[in-house]
């Protein structure tokens, strides 16, 4: 996560886990050894939080929307729809699951 609100990712991109958009997913599968700009968020939205699992990543944008990408083999991406969260929500990924923690009591 960079100070200008952009994000970089690297590693294994099979299933699109790095958040790199492409019209042809085969063009961007494989290993990225160098930091690469995450392009799954709209240009007018800053990334404010990132969490990554074994084959998926989750990004929270400055507009309080959540973007999930990568493998959903074990349901770790939920229902794949864009959704909003409360301010102050924290998101965590482990190898095969994702959870959000709301700090509201």
In the prediction, which pLDDT does 24 show?
A: 46
- How would you list the strands of the sheet with 83-84, edge to edge? 47-52, 56-61, 65-70, 83-84
pTM value surpassing 0.85: no
CB 59 within 8 A of CB 21: no
What was the pLDDT predicted at 44?
A: 93
What pLDDT is attached to residue 86? 67
* Annotated domain spans of the chain: 8-101
Which residue matches tokens 């700090």? 103
How does pLDDT run along the chain (105 residues), one tens digit per residue? Answer: 999 999 999 999 988 899 987 654 456 778 999 999 999 888 999 999 999 999 999 999 998 888 888 888 888 888 755 566 666 667 788 888 887 777 655
In eight-state DSSP terms, residue 3 is T
Residues 6+ apart with CB under 8 A from 2: 8
């Amino acid at each position: 996560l960079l100070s200008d609100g952009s994000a970089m990712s690297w590693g294994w991109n099979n299933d699109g886990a790095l958040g790199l958009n492409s019209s042809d997913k085969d063009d961007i599968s494989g290993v990225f050894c160098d930091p690469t700009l995450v392009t799954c968020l709209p240009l007018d939205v800053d990334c404010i939080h990132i969490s990554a699992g074994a084959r998926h990543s989750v990004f929270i944008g400055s507009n309080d929307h959540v973007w999930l990408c990568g493998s959903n083999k074990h349901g770790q991406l939920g229902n794949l729809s864009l959704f909003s969260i409360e301010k102050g929500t924290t998101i965590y990924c482990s190898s095969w699951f994702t959870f959000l923690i709301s700090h509201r009591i």
